[in-house]
Amino acid sequence: MNSPGGPERTGFLLSQLGSFAAARFAELVKPLGLTPAMAGALRILARSPGLSQRALADRLGAVPSRVVVLVDALEAAGFVSRTRDPEDRRHHRLDLTDAGRAAMGRLRGAAEQQNADLLAPLDAEERAALGTLVSRLAVAHGIDPDVHRGFADHPESR
């Protein structure tokens, strides 16, 4: 009773499509000197200046040692600065540099581009319908917009 492209294949196709979308995003941010993981961290720091590495780790759902590497990369790229917090010298305040803010702007452009590329085959009405459904699913499954998930981000998948 189900067609070959019917709803029973949706989960599978969604996996594939999600991976495709993520790959396209990675491609678009690469020229900006960013990996998807760096982009995710940058987005959080843009909204929460002065965050500690520990707090960033919690937001990302990552371990502190992972954040060291991530912040190392962002600092080396000149997008983020580490400053010892004078109040509690154990903390590092993380802030976007001017270059980091500029990168954020280009990052938003890349996200728009990815979205446009992905949805190009659909008309406005269909995009709206898909957006609503996808958003409903994301909310229902408790998907946190801060965590830029990769396959490897799921401990239970190993």
Chain residues binding a copy of itself by CB under 8 A are 5-27, 30, 111-112, 114-115, 117-122, 126-138, 140-141, 143, 145, 147-154, 156-158
Helix axes 98-119, 36-47, angle to 10 degrees: 120
* Nearer Cβ to DNA (35/48): 35
Shortest approach of DNA to residue 57 CB, angstroms?
7
CB 27 within 8 A of CB 65: no
Which amino acid is present at 25?
F
Give the shortest CB-1-to-a copy of itself separation in angstroms.
12
Are 150 and 36 a contacting pair, CB within 8 Å?
A: yes
Contacting residue, 14, 69, 102, 128, with DNA by CB under 7 A = 69
> What 3-state class would DSSP assign to 116?
helix
* For DNA, the closer CB: 39 or 104: 39
Q: Which does 52 bind (CB under 5 to 8 A by kind): a copy of itself, DNA, none?
A: DNA
Cα separations (Å) of 85 from 51, 68, 69, 71, 78? 10, 16, 20, 16, 20
The only residue of 4, 7, 11, 89 in contact with DNA, by rule CB under 7 A: 89
Whether the CB-CB separation of 91 and 50 falls below 8 Å is answered with no
Residues at the contact surface with DNA, assessed by CB under 7 A: 35, 37, 52-55, 57, 62-69, 71, 82, 88-92, 150, 152-153, 155, 158
